[in-house]
A and B are shown apart, each in its own frame.
Chain A
Amino acid sequence: MSLQYILNRFFYLTITAFVVSLLVFCITQILPANAATMLLGEYATQDALIALEQKLGLDQPAYIQYFNWISGVVQGDLGTSLRSGLPVSDTIFQALGRSLILAAFSLLAVVIIAIPLGVLAAVHRGKVTDFVVSLISYVGISLPEFVLATLLLVWLTGPEIGMFPASGYVPITESFWKGLWHISLPVITLAIVLTAHVMRMVRSEMADALQTDYVLAARLRGLSATTVLFRHALRNSLLPTITVLALDVGYLIGGIIVVEEIFAFPGIGRLLIVSIQERDLPMIQAGALVMAFTYAIANLAADMAYVYLDRRIQYV
């Protein structure tokens, strides 16, 4: 993979990040509620409002505000929370860290479960295994996270079964097993939906790959069924699957928002919801930016992995 290609992609990433930040900024700028009013309350005097606005830099034209914000971001300063008065960066990155653990475990579960099942379904296309896997996939992709999460909450944390805690967070670093126990339900919820998506994708891609001419040619060279399956069909199916995994990170982000809300998990999703409800502008901006940027990085990683596995794409 050429250096030029990597540079090209990073360049592209920067542009995307820039446009995203612009978008986020623009959207949040249209917010009717004035930040200063929020801080001082409704009965503040006009003078006090103006003074605070000046202090916060809210009286300046939009593009100057944007420029200030962006230059801060690039240097690592994401602003100050209107609610807590603390620097946004600390809060956000702490929360991000926790969410990433959630995401990591979910993706792990997906890789371990979804891919083998998808392969199995494709190989036994049209038979019982395929039917069962397809059924599970359909249900999985049709259930919004919050429904699943709520159902699991009711079922598994209620007084009757009480297998998992309903909420709370214990850092893995403190106590591994207790921490694991607490994040189990959120992870399970996310994993189920994600697995359904990936399973479907793998099955469909494998089914296509098994029909190609080069797979036929490989079979006609007498290669064993395992060789044909793994070294030909699967390998080439994984490529689009990687793309889907990257897209699913986006879906995961959406899911994380919901799941964290339901299980009161102190991750970045929950942070964002709270910020929206409290109109904490700097936090909303930074949160959205960080999430979008994470997604963009995930896509970049997927692109590079794709290119590594299939050299052709570089030249396209």
Chain B
Amino acid sequence: MSDFTSRFFRQPQGIVSAVLLTILIVEVALGPLLAPYDPETFHVKSRLLGPSTDFFLGTDQFGRDILSRILWGARTTILLSLIATLIGAVAGGILGIISGYLGGRIDELVMRFVDALMAIPSLLFALLIITVLGPSGINAVIAIGIAFSPGMARIARSVTLSVKTSDYVSAAVARGESTMWIMSREIAPNMLAPVIIEATIRVAFAIMLLATLSFLGLGSQPPSPEWGLMISEGRAFMFRNAWAIFWPGLSIAIVAITFNLLGDALRDALNPKN
């Protein structure tokens, strides 16, 4: 364990992502407490203002405080993205391990199916699912989770395949260990690393997809302070006050960068190359 931490913090990506991650955790946990205003209150006389001492980041077209909206929206954006990625990772991961371990006809069939699913780009896939489910934040999460599953399944399967041929798995099979044991105690611990890394990077992608869907009006609906939605709403007024789209945009970028950096740092820390 200490081996891992030292490798992790040896790199700039590790340190930076750890710092940013801490800030994000604080933001998600305490955001609403730190917000100076209620995110939905209209301050009619202070609409479309730039940053000031009253409103640190300015206000939007309804006079709502941008800072408060961002702090509240952190929960929505980040948590929803995490859940979406989790759905995709778990669903895809389980499918991948089983398919990879069982091999043979089952594996081929499943993989052909997964390949066909992967022929549909993620956003498109999510859009189609939203079309069926109807626009809302939760549905966006489900849609993204489903759209991620094929990709995660692919990764989980390929790692399972390479682990499956290791001698220690062969030794377990030769001993007569049960399939459950082999999958959970021999294979799973060794394939977690690449899957976790991939999932971390996908969180970044999930954030962007979620924001995009909201932006298109197909994700979170008003008056939710979801960051993508904020940008969409601010579009009509962008020439009068660009801050309404700048701050949410920056926040999205920072969260995405955090998880990308984290994924990279994890990759180097979990797979040491001498």
Contacts and interface: CB of A to CB of B under 8 A. Distances in A.
A150 B235 contact: yes
A154 interface: yes
B127 interface: yes
Interface stretch (A18-26, A42-50, A212-220): A18-26
A159 B240 CA distance: 10
B204 interface: yes
B163 interface: no
A28 B257 CA distance: 35
Interface in B117-167: 117, 119-124, 127-132
A115 interface: no
A305 interface: no
B261 A138 contact: yes
A205 interface: no
Given A27-B128, A141-B260, A146 B215 contact: yes
Contacts of A147: 211, 231, 245, 249, 252-253
Given A28-B132, A158-B239, A254 B253 contact: no
Interface string B241-274: 0100110010011101100110000000000000
Nearest to A13: B119
- Residues of A contacting B: mostly: helix
A143 interface: yes
Contact of A20 (B120, B129, B261): B120
Given A28-B131, A276-B131, A142 B238 contact: no
Interface range on chain A (Cβ under 8 Å from partner): 35 or more
A185 interface: no
A258 interface: yes
Nearest to A285: B128
B208 interface: yes
B212 interface: yes
A295 B120 contact: yes
7 contacts: A142-B256, A143-B208, A143-B252, A147-B249, A258-B212, A276-B218, A288-B124
Q: Which 4 A-B pairs have the closest CB atoms?
A: A254-B123, A142-B256, A19-B116, A144-B208
Given A138-B260, A147-B245, 4 more contacts: A27-B128, A28-B131, A262-B235, A292-B124
Interface of A: 15-16, 19-20, 23-24, 27-28, 30-31, 138-139, 141-147, 150-151, 153-154, 158-159, 250-251, 253-254, 257-258, 261-262, 272-273, 276-277, 284, 288, 291-292, 295-296, 299
